[in-house]
C-alpha cells in the first residue's frame, strides 16, 4: 500500500471511461483532472500525462502515482492495456504488438491530448510500448508527445525459456496462437510477489503474445535511432525482471539529442511501487516540466467524485 494523503486524494478526483478501440475492444481508462495551485482558480500547468503500466498488471496499481502528478497540475490518463485489468480483449493476448501501440495513439486522440503539452511514462512492457509509439511516430508522422520517460523498460528478456517450451510455443503460435503458457512467478520483485491474490493480475500468456513481444524487443533496438522525442530512462539498479544493463546501452543508440539514462541503486523492478516512489516521481515531474510547456489561463474544473464509466469511441 502507498501513503496518499487525504488532501492529495480529495484534491485529485477521477473519472472512469470506456474507450472503444478501432477493433471493438473496450479499454478501461481512468482520467485524473489537473489540480490548480492552492488558492488559484486557474491551472498553471494543464498538461497531459499518459501513464502506461506493465505486463500482467493494471492501471489501478498506479493510482497513487496518477494522483501525485495530478496534484502537480497534470491531467493524467491511466488506462488498462487490452487484455489487462478491466479492459476487454483476450487476457494477455495480441496478434501483433502494434495493437498496444495503436491503442495508446487512439487514447491520445480520443482525449484531445495536445502533443506539444503531452508527456508519456511507460513502465516495463508499457515502456516497450511507449518506445514503439514514439519510434513509429518519428518515422515521419506527427510526434505524439513533447517528451517521454521509460521506467525499467523491457528492452531485453532475461527469464530463460526452456528449449522444448520455446519450440512448442513456436508451433502453437502458428497452429493455435491462443494456447496459454504460465508466466514464471515473479519471486525476484518483493512488491509483485506480495500481491499474488490480486484478482486483476494476469498469470498466463498466449503463444502469440510471447512472440509478439519478442519481435517488439528486437524492433525497439533496430529502430532506436528513429527516436527524436526527448527521452529519459529511469532504470532500477536491483532489477531482476528485465535486464538492468540494457537501457545504458540502448540509450546511446537513440536518435534524440535530448536523451538520458539514470540508474536507481538498490531499487526493485517497479519504480512506482518502491518505498521512495515520490522521490522518483518528483524527479520525472521536474524533468518533464522543463520540456513540456504549460498552457495559460485555463480554468480549473471543480471538485467531483469518481464518476461512473462513460462510453467513448477512439478515433
**pLDDT single digits (tens) 209-258:** 999 999 999 999 999 999 999 999 999 999 989 999 999 999 999 999 99
Average pLDDT for residues 166-175, to the nearest whole number?
59
Average pLDDT for residues 38-63, to the nearest whole number?
83
Instruction: Map out the domains of the chain with their CATH numbers.
Output: 14-163+215-313 (3.40.50.1820)
Do 113 and 142 contact (CB within 8 A), yes or no?
no
Average pLDDT for residues 77-90, to the nearest whole number?
97
Higher-pLDDT residue of 285 and 165 is 285
Higher-pLDDT residue of 197 and 125 is 125
Q: What's the whole-number average pLDDT of the chain?
A: 84
**Confidence at residue 307, expressed as pLDDT on a 0 to 100 scale:** 38
**Confidence at residue 158, expressed as pLDDT on a 0 to 100 scale:** 79
Q: Tell me the pLDDT band of 288, cut-offs 50, 70 and 90.
A: very high
Average pLDDT for residues 125-142, to the nearest whole number?
86
**Confidence at residue 301, expressed as pLDDT on a 0 to 100 scale:** 38
Partnered with residue 48 across adjacent β-strands are: 75, 118
CA–CA dist 140, 154 (Å, integer): 25
Q: Which residue carries 502506461 as its cell?
A: 52
Here the cell at position 227 is 527516436
Q: At what angle do helices 125-137 and 207-222 cross, to 10 degrees?
A: 50
DSSP-derived pairing of the beta strands 259-264 and 231-236: parallel
Q: What is the pTM of this model?
A: 0.85
Amino acid at each position: 500500500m502507498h501513503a496518499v494523503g487525504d488532501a492529495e486524494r480529495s484534491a485529485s478526483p477521477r473519472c472512469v471511461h470506456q474507450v472503444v478501440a478501432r477493433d471493438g475492444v473496450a479499454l478501461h481508462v481512468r482520467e485524473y483532472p489537473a489540480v490548480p495551485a492552492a488558492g488559484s482558480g486557474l491551472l498553471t500547468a494543464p498538461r497531459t500525462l499518459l501513464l502506461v503500466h506493465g505486463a500482467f498488471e493494471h492501471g489501478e496499481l498506479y493510482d497513487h502515482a496518477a494522483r501525485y502528478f495530478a496534484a502537480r497540475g497534470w491531467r493524467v490518463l491511466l488506462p488498462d492495456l487490452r487484455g489487462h485489468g478491466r479492459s476487454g480483449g483476450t487476457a494477455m493476448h495480441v496478434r501483433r504488438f502494434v495493437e498496444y501501440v495503436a491503442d495508446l495513439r487512439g487514447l491520445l486522440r480520443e482525449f484531445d491530448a495536445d502533443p506539444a503539452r503531452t508527456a508519456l511514462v511507460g513502465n516495463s512492457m508499457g515502456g516497450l510500448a511507449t518506445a514503439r509509439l514514439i519510434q513509429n511516430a518519428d518515422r515521419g508522422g506527427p510526434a505524439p508527445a513533447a517528451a517521454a520517460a521509460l521506467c525499467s523498460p523491457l528492452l531485453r528478456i532475461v527469464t530463460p525459456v526452456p528449449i522444448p517450451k520455446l519450440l512448442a510455443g513456436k508451433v502453437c503460435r502458428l497452429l493455435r496462437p491462443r494456447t496459454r503458457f504460465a508466466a514464471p512467478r515473479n519471486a525476484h520483485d518483493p512488491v509483485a510477489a506480495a500481491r499474488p491474490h490480486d484478482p486483476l493480475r494476469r498469470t498466463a500468456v498466449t503463444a502469440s503474445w510471447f512472440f509478439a513481444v519478442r519481435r517488439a524487443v528486437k524492433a525497439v533496438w533496430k529502430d532506436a535511432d528513429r527516436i527524436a522525442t526527448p527521452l529519459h530512462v529511469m532504470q532500477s539498479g536491483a532489477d531482476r525482471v528485465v535486464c538492468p544493463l540494457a537501457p545504458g546501452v540502448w540509450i546511446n543508440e537513440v536518435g534524440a539529442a535530448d536523451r538520458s539514462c539514470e540508474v536507481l541503486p538498490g531499487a526493485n523492478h517497479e519504480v512506482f511501487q518502491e518505498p521512495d516512489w515520490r522521490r522518483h516521481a518528483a524527479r520525472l515531474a521536474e524533468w518533464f516540466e522543463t520540456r513540456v510547456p504549460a498552457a495559460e489561463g485555463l480554468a480549473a474544473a471543480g471538485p467531483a467524485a469518481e464518476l461512473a464509466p462513460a462510453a467513448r469511441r477512439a478515433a
